[in-house]
């Protein structure tokens, strides 16, 4: 006996449904992955006694995530066979750059570490956009990366500002 959902009229409906569900998981995980950026950033405004701790959480998580973003290009270089060999080589090379930058960001004064991470999140997004112009990536990938990058960069820049001897004034 064959099961059939009455709302699906043809194979393309089934493919569209599968694409929707496949894109839901990365979106959910991506947005949940913003919590370690957002929560410490919120605490920067309310827990001034632990400012260094919250900034440390942000800097270290930002470094981990920037490394992850770079590693995606290693996968792209391995799996996107339509990439010309020079583009594959460049993707392999680029994939390690964010990890090295992340490592440096943890080894320099925090203010500069936050700025360095924020700048390289922007560069990584540009690299992703350049790749998506050359090969077909899932439709959800670039918009998701853009949204995640904007939030991550905003949190990192707030942390840089907050720790540089300046504190934002909030009104109750």
Question: What gap in Å lies between CA 158 and CA 115, rounded to an integer?
Answer: 10
Write down the pLDDT at residue 16: 55
- Whether the model pTM is above 0.75: yes
Residue pointed to by tokens 């570490």? 113
Query: What's the average model confidence in pLDDT over 130-148?
Result: 90
User: How large is the average pLDDT for residues 27-37?
Assistant: 96
Q: Helix, strand, coil: what percent of the chain each, to 5?
A: 80, 0, 20
Rounded Cα distance, 156 and 161, in Å = 9
Average of pLDDT values for 128-150? 91
pLDDT band at 11 (very low <50, low <70, confident <90, very high): low
Least confident window among 42-56, 111-125, 127-141, 157-171: 157-171
């Amino acid at each position: 006996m064959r099961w059939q959902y009455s709302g699906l009229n043809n194979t393309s409906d089934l493919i569209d449904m599968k694409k929707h569900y496949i894109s839901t998981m990365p979106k959910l995980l991506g947005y949940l992955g913003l919590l370690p950026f957002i929560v410490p950033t919120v605490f920067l405004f309310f827990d001034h006694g632990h400012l260094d701790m919250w900034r440390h959480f942000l800097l270290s998580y930002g470094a981990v995530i920037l490394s992850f973003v770079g590693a995606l290009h290693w996968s792209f270089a391995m799996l996107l066979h339509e990439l010309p060999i020079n583009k594959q080589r460049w993707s392999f090379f680029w994939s390690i750059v964010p990890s090295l930058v992340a490592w440096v960001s943890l080894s320099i004064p925090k203010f500069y570490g936050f700025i360095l991470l924020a700048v390289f999140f922007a560069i990584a997004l540009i690299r992703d956009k350049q790749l998506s112009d050359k090969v077909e990536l899932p439709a959800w990938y670039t918009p998701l990366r853009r949204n995640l990058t904007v939030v991550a960069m905003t949190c990192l820049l707030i942390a840089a500002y907050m720790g540089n001897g300046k504190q934002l004034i909030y009104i109750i």
